[in-house]
Amino acid sequence: YSIWVSTDHDEIEKVAKQFGAQVHRRSPEVSQDSSTSLEAIREFLNHHHEVDIVGNIQATSPCLHPSDLIKVADLIQKEGFDSVFSVVRRHQFRWSEVKKGENKMTEPQNLNPAKRYRRQDWPGELYENGSFYFARRHLIEKGYLQGGKMAYYEMRAEHSVDIDIDIDWPIAEQRVLSFGYFGKEPLKEVKLLVCSIDGCLTNGRIYVTEDQKEMVSYDYRDIVGIDLLKKRGIQVRLISERDCSKTLSAMQLGCVAKVSATNKLQVLDDWQKDMGLSWKEIAYLGNEESDVECLKKAGMSGVPADACALAQKAAGYICKSSGGCGAVREFAEHIFLLLEKVNSARKH
């Protein structure tokens, strides 16, 4: 097998290669707003004659699991199907549409109102969910992703997530944390958050008065986020490359802090060993190049929206909020969602 990302975007290419995928650069002809996936796939096959089977995985379906893809590949390679596509079972009663101005009544499409049964007693219907389409080369060359000897693959409802419009995003984020794929290793509960002070807890700006006193600003929402983490039993520690002891003292956060840290990773490593934690149990919020190695090492990593490019590439989560403007609170909420995922896994 080989994994390819088809794109015409430089940044997407960099991220794809960073995670080990190969990249096919789309031509302008198949990179228009009106271009279809089939057009991009056919162009890809024109450049890769060695490929006989294509699995088109949709980026808008983030709950897809590797086990599903392995089973689908077996259907084509071992059972001789020409195309396989994903479906989900729905229990929804359908009625015919009556357009405005039409002089007619709606009609039931898949039920008898006189013998209406409970939906939980009904086997339901199968709908395409758009998660993936697998097909052999000869079908795609004819302009089809579905055809020949066809089969559907029924996905579990909790894994069937499709992002079409803005309102789908928060639903998808919740579903991914509850049912998404997080690798073979079991999830660990976060027990420590390490936060870079300058640029995360503060906005990174330093104000100097006429008498040469320094002042910084912070967002009260971030202080609330730190308090919420502590109430959930998660320790919060702070780190900075500069000596900001007076600032920390004035903020009265009650957190262990390391200032004048020339090697943040070494500090993080010492804390990890002293507390007897695994790296999976540590979350890190940073924003600068000096945070990159810590972001890579921690089990959960995040950066504010205005973090430097290298830090953003190393992080698992990019906040919508900027440093000093609610990023700590937002990342705390992200940690709480992971805790829900851990608790859900334990119940199962």
Closest alpha carbon to 258 in 215, 250, 248, 217: 248
116 catalytically annotated = yes
Alpha-carbon span 219 to 323, nearest angstrom: 9
- Judged against a pLDDT cut of 70, whether residue 75 lies above it is answered with yes
Distance, in Å, from the CA atom of 163 to the CA atom of 26, rounded to the nearest integer, reads: 23
The two three-digit tokens of residue 234, written as one number: 């998660």
Fold observed for domain 192-346: Rossmann fold (3.40.50)
Q: Which two tokens stand for residue 307?
A: 């973090």
Structure confidence at residue 98 as a pLDDT band (50, 70, 90) = very high
Task: Give, for 273, the enclosing helix (H) or strand (E).
Answer: helix 264-275
Residue 75 contacts residue 81 (beta carbons within 8 Å): yes
pLDDT tens digits, one per residue of 16-61? 887 789 999 999 999 998 999 999 999 999 999 999 999 999 889 9
CB within 8 Å of 9: residues ≥ 6 apart: none
User: Where in the chain do CATH 3.40.50.1000 domains reside?
Assistant: 192-346
pLDDT digits (tens, 9 = 90+) for 229-246: 999 999 999 999 888 777
pTM, 2 dp: 0.66
CA-CA distance, 95 to 245, in Å (whole number)? 67
pLDDT 10s digits, 79-88: 999 999 999 9
Q: Backbone phi, then psi, for 90, in 5-degree steps?
A: -120, 145
66 Cβ contact partners less than 8 Å away, ≥ 6 residues apart: 181
Q: Are 140 and 51 in contact (CB under 8 A)?
A: no
Q: Which of 25, 89, 90, 116 is catalytic?
A: 116
